[in-house]
Amino acid sequence: MSALLSIERVSKNYGPRIGCSDASFELWPGEVLAIVGESGSGKTTLLKCISGQMEPTSGKVRYSTRAGREVALDAMSEAERRFLIRTDWGFVHQDAREGLRMGVSAGANVGERLMAVGERHYGRIRSTALDWLGRVEIAGDRIDDSPWSYSGGMRQRLQIARNLVTAPRLIFMDEPTGGLDVSVQARLLDLLRGLVRRLGLAAVIVTHDLAVARLLSTRMMVMQGGRVIETGLTDQILEDPQQPYTQLLVSSVLQV
């Protein structure tokens, strides 16, 4: 078995400023990796670089396709890359409005990726959309409603359904619970954990919240000042952090 995603010395500079520097890791099928750090640590920049949303200044991002072929993201044509992004990958934005098509109904939001890969049967699109709304705990009678009428938590769940409908193998999440109430956060995390396990999804989750990392991830990477300073199994890092910065993070959050 080969790694699903291989990141090799990825760096991104914004002019003279460093976004992220020299990050390397491998992600295996079904594995959930949390990238943790405070704002400005470079975690979101790294996420954008490895998910094809931003071109890294240097370094390589490689992905193993379903056919078992390893492709370098920068060597793919734009058509191939865009196809990969909308079928095999998913991206959950912190602000659901960025990840949803707010001008169309919830059903169309879920159905869009199916139509993008050639599904042309309205009835099937609709029943698949209904099924997915159910899986993310959205009542079926809300299918024709606009996402504008949804609460923040519902929008986030809709965004997740929209991403998962094409059965991607890898999903990227940028602070998926950010900006939600604590109780809503808990429900969403629970749902995400269930989905990821049931579907055997691999995921990269960027969060500043160690609780999110603890609940969802198997491995963790801690970033500070654009660099990865510590990496390891989540439980291990949380119980025995090596770096002073990680120790500070863990002690400040987890004692509560």
Which residues would be at the binding site for other proteins (CB under 8 A)? 78-79, 82, 101-105, 107-108, 111-113, 115-118, 120-123, 125-126, 143-144, 146, 148
CB of 209 to other proteins, least distance (A): 31
Q: In sequence order, which residues have a C-beta less than 8 Å from that of residue 79 and are 6 or more positions away?
A: none
CB of 105 to other proteins, least distance (A): 6
Sheet with 219-224: list strands edge to edge.
Answer: 89-92, 170-174, 202-207, 32-36, 219-224, 227-233
The 3-state DSSP class for residue 93 equals: coil
Complex with other proteins: residue 103 or 200, whichever CB lies closer: 103
Complex with other proteins: residue 19 or 111, whichever CB lies closer: 111
CB of 205 to other proteins, least distance (A): 27
CB of 120 to other proteins, least distance (A): 5
Beta carbons of 104 and 162 less than 8 angstroms apart: no
Complex with other proteins: residue 146 or 231, whichever CB lies closer: 146
Give the closest residue to 22 by CA, choosing from 56, 54, 48: 56
Complex with other proteins: residue 117 or 254, whichever CB lies closer: 117
CA distances from 5 to 43, 64, 68, 203 (A): 17, 7, 12, 10
CB of 141 to other proteins, least distance (A): 11
Complex with other proteins: residue 114 or 205, whichever CB lies closer: 114
CA angle 13, 245, 217 (to 5 degrees): 80
Parallel, antiparallel, or unpaired for β 5-14 and 89-92? Answer: unpaired
Beta carbons of 234 and 214 less than 8 angstroms apart: yes
Complex with other proteins: residue 9 or 82, whichever CB lies closer: 82
Beta carbons of 119 and 125 less than 8 angstroms apart: yes
Distance CA 79, CA 209 (A): 35
CB of 14 to other proteins, least distance (A): 18
Distance CA 60, CA 28 (A): 17
Complex with other proteins: residue 144 or 190, whichever CB lies closer: 144
CB of 143 to other proteins, least distance (A): 8
